[in-house]
Structure 1
Amino acid sequence: MNKTIYALSLGVFGVATSEFCVIGILPVLAKTFNVSIDTAGWLMSGFALTVALCGPFITALTKNINRKTILLLVLATFVISNMMSALSTNFTVLLISRIIPAIFYPAFWAIALTLGMKQVAPKDAPKAISVVMMGLSISTVIGVPLTTYFADLFNWKASFIISGIVNIIAFLSLLLVVPSTPVERKKNNTQNLTILKEPFVWINYLYILLKIAGMFATYSYLADYFTKITHMNGAQVSLMLLLFGIAGILGNWIVGKIVSKNVHLGFRYFPVALILVEVLAYFFGTWFIPMTVIIFIWGFVHTSGFLIGNTRGAYKIPRETLEFTNSFVPSFFNLGVTFGTIAGGWVIKSTGVHNIIWISAAFLLSAFALTFIHPRVRGKYQENNLSESEESYLSPEQFAH
């Protein structure tokens, strides 16, 4: 693999750590700034909503700028954001500090994945994607637990400082390793727009939104759940998040192998598996030892949801429109994060953190129900569309890492 690809993966690790670093310290931030936990949840949902709304526009606005320049500017924005967050004196300033980099976040993802693919031969493009996306997995295994640990060791500001340092390292890596990449002028292909008339495309997007909402209705408030239900301290929370992330990498790899043989099985039974794990957490969450085992299983199932979501975004999509339809996937991912976090916060405010399991289950059951809907492929895409057994999408193994 070209060293540029690993530099891009480090960049993804930096921005993803910045996005998720508040998960482990949400209860601390709520207490520090004297806001409710559902209000503090806007540090996650506000970021995600900004990404969802700005994604298509920011990508279009930056299409003529050197790709390396955009990557560096986005990382610089994240460095400044984290420093602003660490210096925040009130919740409003902290929220604004979080939202600013989210505006440019989609451009980084789109460019990093595309640039990574261009570093290798076409046949190795899936491997390049998996390496770049590895930065996301590592952020959950190392980034989030690390920032949570330093917040417990010192104070909440340390979490943002560490996140900022990670982005500085990523900035220097991209500056030194990634080659200058001027934009290649291309004619607009308006024919791609016709794919959006196909119902199955919107079923894919809706499935992604509901599934991610179900995942983040609970994931966004894990630290609060561990603290109030399992009565863990800060150090224990960071260790549990580490265990959650390690299990996630293992689950991503194994689930990728399983559903590559029957991708529809993954779409249908992932929501069921996550519901069962969360129900176990509901009934056994007050016991430390059983909850430790449940957290491992939870991380194993949860993280594979990103893999399944990416695969669903390309499900039954003709190859010639795959890049176009995939450009909308990050927006629906982040809309899912937004809805899930807001809904989870509403439940916490209304009935307590213990009951977030049930709002998560509602989203996941809705996603499960969508797997029984098979809209007919119409128009010119009908003859190009392949059956479920054929690879009309990137296989889960190509996303696994």
Structure 2
Amino acid sequence: MKRILYVLALGIFGIATTEFGVIGILPQIATAFNITTDKAGWLLSAFALIIAVSGPFVTLFFSSWNRKQSMILVLAVFTGGNIIAALSTSFPMLLIARMLPAFMHPVYWSNGLTMAANSVPEAESPKAVSIVFGGFTIASVLGVPLATWMADLFSWQASFLLCAVVNGISFLGLLLFLPDMPGVKTSFGTQLQVLRKPALWVSLGLACLIVAAMYASYGYMAVYLREVTRMNGAQISMMLLVFGITGVAGNWLAGKLLSRSRLYTTMGFIGLLLLTHVLLYFAGIYMVPMIVMVCLWGFIHTGGFLISNINVTTMAPEAPELVNSIFTSCGNLAVTIGATVGGVTIAHAGVHQIMWTSVVLLLLSLVVVCAANYKRLARMV
């Protein structure tokens, strides 16, 4: 059974590398097509925007498909999209090549996470989901830096070809090792009934706050390390790698703790990440303490996606694919919100103050958790 989980994680690795690998090659693309860097940034923001807007609708459309077939189709589209991107001769062509796979992104995420959760007993589902989420974590550790390195070593086209190869390998893995799994025969209307659950919307709001808090600071991590801690490029690259490596361990631990208590794990995560950001502010100007704090930051930070996903999906187990796709849309929207709020903070207060933006959002998250579970918490007092 674990082999299936690792195959699913490999697909997540390829998709995440495709989505975020472009971050490190935006300057090269801007130069190649004689455009501004912010215009080149549409290769990332348009990708996320399409996921946020179309995710639930595309997932509903594919919900009756055989899950193996739909996921193989997704990886085929990602492989082809990256090949077209590498062959692009104009920026509009490159943008279209990036946008087409984005429509299919939620189909793999929702089906992959649902299959992981359903492949083991209910009590073990957080651990199984954490293995699949590990593909996302490893993509941030290896996939994104490797895509950037390929572009530096050869050209920006090589970065897209690398993504094509990774997705092609994932395609073959699913084709050979993933068992057939019929789609959901439930009607669209029945699945949409879950949207009437207030608890689901509370969990989505909480997930949005948590992920926004994470990316309000993490999205500007390199800037913070350069301007506040005064690290050079090589040191920043090493810190990003360390952040990702410790995140793999943190993701694994979050999966184990969620199997024991979802509420305690969520509250503990928010509290520890809040404290971490306070310490990051005070350690920011010191090299050695900051190195230690980056290790702690990565270890705690990465579990946020898994914790948020489990909180959302447990609210509507009768429509897991739809709920996972809504979570994916919510997560991409939250990343955009966090990055925007963080940017506003930097523009008006400076880079050093960015940590307090995350602190405020995490405090709001803690208020939501306590308000949503006040009866249970009151009984424990």
* Class of the TM-score when normalised by the shorter of the 2 chains: 0.7 to 0.9
1:366 aligns with 364
Residue 169, structure 1, aligned to residue 162, structure 2: no
Unaligned runs of 5+ in 2: none
1:244 aligns with 243
1:340 aligns with 338
Q: Distance in 2 between matches of 1:302 and 1:289?
A: 20
Shift of 1:207: 0.5
Shift of 1:180: 5.1
Shift of 1:52: 1.7
Q: AA paired with 2:288?
A: I
1:328 aligns with 326
After superposing the two structures, state which structure 1 stretch, 119-128 or 354-363, moved more: 119-128
Q: Could you state the TM-score of these two structures normalised by the residue count of structure 2? A: 0.81
Instruction: Show the 5 A alignment for 1:224-373.
Output: 224-258=223-257, 261-314=260-313, 317=315, 319-320=317-318, 325-349=323-347, 352-373=350-371
Q: Distance in 1 between matches of 2:360 and 2:40?
A: 23
Q: Distance in 2 between matches of 1:133 and 1:273?
A: 21
2:10 aligns with 10
Conservation of the 8 A alpha-carbon contact between 1:24 and 1:223: no
2:185 aligns with 186
Shift of 1:243: 0.7
Shift of 1:346: 4.0
- Relative distance call for 1:319 and 1:105 in structure 2 (3 A) is closer
- Relative distance call for 1:272 and 1:90 in structure 2 (3 A) is farther
Q: Distance in 1 between matches of 2:14 and 2:84?
A: 16
Q: Distance in 1 between matches of 2:91 and 2:175?
A: 33
Q: 3-state DSSP class of the match of 1:21? A: helix
Cα deviation, 1:270-315, whole Å, max 9, x if unaligned, reads 3343233234334433443332212111101110111221222145
Q: AA paired with 1:358?
A: W
Conservation of the 8 A alpha-carbon contact between 1:23 and 1:220: no
Q: 3-state DSSP class of the match of 1:186? A: coil
Q: Distance in 2 between matches of 1:204 and 1:141?
A: 28
Conservation of the 8 A alpha-carbon contact between 2:258 and 2:265: yes
- Relative distance call for 1:108 and 1:319 in structure 2 (3 A) is closer
2:50 aligns with 50
Instruction: Show the 5 A alignment for 1:150-169.
Output: 150-154=150-154, 156-169=156-169
Shift of 1:336: 0.9
After superposing the two structures, state which structure 1 stretch, 89-98 or 249-258, moved more: 89-98
Shift of 1:108: 1.0
Question: What's the Cα RMSD here?
Answer: 3.6
Higher helix fraction (1 or 2):
2
- Relative distance call for 1:284 and 1:329 in structure 2 (3 A) is same
User: Following superposition, which runs of at least 4 residues in structure 1 exceed 6 angstroms of deviation?
Assistant: 27-33, 120-124
Conservation of the 8 A alpha-carbon contact between 1:200 and 1:376: no
After superposing the two structures, state which structure 1 stretch, 51-60 or 91-100, moved more: 91-100
Unaligned runs of 5+ in 1: 378-386, 390-401
Conservation of the 8 A alpha-carbon contact between 2:66 and 2:183: no
Q: Distance in 2 between matches of 1:354 and 1:156?
A: 32
Cα deviation, 1:339-374, whole Å, max 9, x if unaligned, reads 122333444455554443333333322222212323
Q: Distance in 1 between matches of 2:141 and 2:223?
A: 19
Shift of 1:122: 7.3
Shift of 1:206: 0.4
Residue 101, structure 1, aligned to residue 101, structure 2: yes
Conservation of the 8 A alpha-carbon contact between 1:46 and 1:338: no
After superposing the two structures, state which structure 1 stretch, 237-246 or 259-268, moved more: 259-268
Q: Distance in 1 between matches of 2:91 and 2:85?
A: 9
Q: Distance in 2 between matches of 1:176 and 1:43?
A: 32
Cα deviation, 1:233-254, whole Å, max 9, x if unaligned, reads 4443332222111111222233
Residue 113, structure 1, aligned to residue 125, structure 2: no
Shift of 1:82: 3.0
- Relative distance call for 1:337 and 1:297 in structure 2 (3 A) is same
Q: Could you state the TM-score of these two structures normalised by the residue count of structure 1? A: 0.78
Shift of 1:75: 1.6
Shift of 1:57: 0.9
Conservation of the 8 A alpha-carbon contact between 1:274 and 1:301: yes
- Relative distance call for 1:295 and 1:185 in structure 2 (3 A) is closer
- Relative distance call for 1:254 and 1:152 in structure 2 (3 A) is same
